[in-house]
Chains A and B, each alone.
Chain A
Amino acid sequence: MHPLIELRQVSFGYGAELALENINLHLHPGQFAALVGPSGAGKTSLLKLVLGGLQPNQGEVYIHGQLLDGQPNPHVGYVPQLETIDWNFPVTVEQVVLMGRIRRSTIWPWPSATEKRQVRAILEKLEINHLAQRHIRDLSGGQRQRVFLARALTAEPDLLVLDEPTTGVDMRTAENVLHLLADLNRQGMTVLMTIHDLNAAAAHAPWIICLNRRIIAQGRPEQIFVEEILNETYRGDMLVIRQDGMLFVQQRPHSHTYHAVVPDPVPGHEE
């Protein structure tokens, strides 16, 4: 059986300098993978290659064994970073979710009864059915993430691609979003996401891909979250703590850091 996504010796750059170099990656149906790495590591470029939004300078991207030749990937549901959305745009939740059906929609400007039914079913699944007629600006962070997840699911994808789904939301909302993705994955959905929060990735993603221009390592969190691999990925001094079967990652503070940020006491106000 072909992998769902396969990148063969892919290199990509925005100019002379390569953002991604010699990437070999397989993603099989049913996998849940988190792509981690520092800013500028090429995570979003890699996602865009998978989405068909970018073409590699070298190498090939295959979907279900078929070459993706500069065309959008028809098997994918994409959730962009929430920060890129214009929240004042005059659309309701239902209208946004209906956009996901654009490939299968009728020529008429209004949705068919079937389309409306399908959208309602997905909104219900994500427990946001009551928000269907709400303007997108009037939603909380978690609700917003669910709306764009619903749009992706409406496309009936084999693969969900999410760009930083936990950025810009509070810790509890991030937890909820990751639980939701895990649930969808248990129901058979393949998930590929980029994420900055290494602790959240360690807790929720069963497969981690460390990227910094090239793939440094990939595997289960307990294999990947070791100081050598993280140091190489982030080019920093990373600390990994294991406690009660959980993994915590922290960057070691520089010894002089605190001296630099503590201001001198104001004369006359010393304790």
Chain B
Amino acid sequence: MANIFLQPFQFEFFRNGILVAVIVGGLCGLIGVYIVLRGMSYIGHGLSHAIFGGAVVSFIMSWNFYLGAGLWGFVAAVLINQTVRRTKINADAAIGVITTASFAVGVALISRYRRFTQSFDAALFGNILGVTTQDLWVVSAVAALIAVAIFLIYKQLLFVTFDSEVARVYGVKTEWVDTFFALILASALIASMQILGVTLIAAALVIPAISARLLTDSFNRMVILSTLCGASTGFVGMYLSFYIDIASGASIVLLQASGFGLALIFSSLRKRASQRIVHTHL
């Protein structure tokens, strides 16, 4: 049994991969809380696609992937925020237009320069084999910075997420908080792209958060549960990926979806039990 547990660790790619999966899973779980509560679940899906466009452009222009794609994602997130704030367009429509156009830029460039199609398969679907020690350091640094940033603006972020318009009245610089959050989100997506892939990041952002929401009515507990759920499914998902030989992103997301199913059953049973108690007391 111990052998099954330890055997994969003899491979460097697995050691790097599992560490990154745990960090990225926890990070997505943490940020997902704010995304889900703001009713912007679609933004993770959209922005990851937008970043794909940025990744392709970075490759062609020989820019640093993290900087190029990160900046691209950040600009896309700010554009979405500003479009929603300054026009009558809803968030889902703004996300649809801006991120799909950005993704289309990537697709257009790939079809024009066919030579690097293979390397972008990893970006689309996630690939643990591609995680280098340098990636591990970058992801760790990004996660640490994001955790500190959220810690420092925890109260402001909570107020803006709860009621942005009123938060402004009470002196919260909501535009700054929104822009800062866009930067955090873009950084997290870049960090997650290698392990989860563009197509599955959205699920990793949303599923732990909604599962945690089903289990608790406390914001603080939701943050902790969602982060733990993301990190633990990252850990177990990597083992599944190794032993069943499936893509890492898919195994992590499938595990999270199973967790969501369990949370759903648990919350339904709890609701039914509490209704029964009320009934008995009436």
Contact = CB atoms under 8 A, between A and B. Distances in A.
A96 B158 CA distance: 10
Contacts of B156: 102
Contacts of A53: 165, 168-169
A135 B219 CA distance: 10
Contacts of A105: 155
Interface string B145-184: 0000001101110110111011111111000000000000
Contacts, number: 66
Contacts of B166: 78, 80
B155 A90 contact: no
A39 B169 CA distance: 23
B171 A103 contact: yes
A52 B169 CA distance: 7
A155 interface: yes
Given A53-B165, A109-B154, A102 B171 contact: yes
Contact of A107 (B152, B217, B218): B152
A261 interface: no
A52 B161 CA distance: 20
A76 B169 CA distance: 8
B277 to A, nearest CB: 14
B145 to A, nearest CB: 16
Contacts of A86: 162-163
Contacts of A72: 168-171
Query: Per DSSP, are chain A's interface residues mostly helix, strand or loop, or mixed?
Result: loop
Residue of A73, A91, A95, A100 most packed against chain B (CB within 10 A): A91
A99 B158 contact: yes
A133 B155 CA distance: 18
A86 B166 CA distance: 13
Interface in A173-225: none
B49 interface: no
Contacts of B154: 109
Contacts of A51: 169
Interface in A77-103: 78, 80, 84-86, 89-92, 95-96, 98-100, 102-103
B220 to A, nearest CB: 8
A74 interface: yes
Nearest to B216: A90
Interface string B209-224: 0000100111100100
B40 interface: no
B170 A99 contact: yes
16 contacts: A76-B169, A78-B166, A80-B166, A85-B163, A86-B163, A89-B37, A89-B162, A90-B213, A91-B162, A95-B219, A99-B159, A99-B170, A105-B155, A109-B151, A109-B155, A135-B217
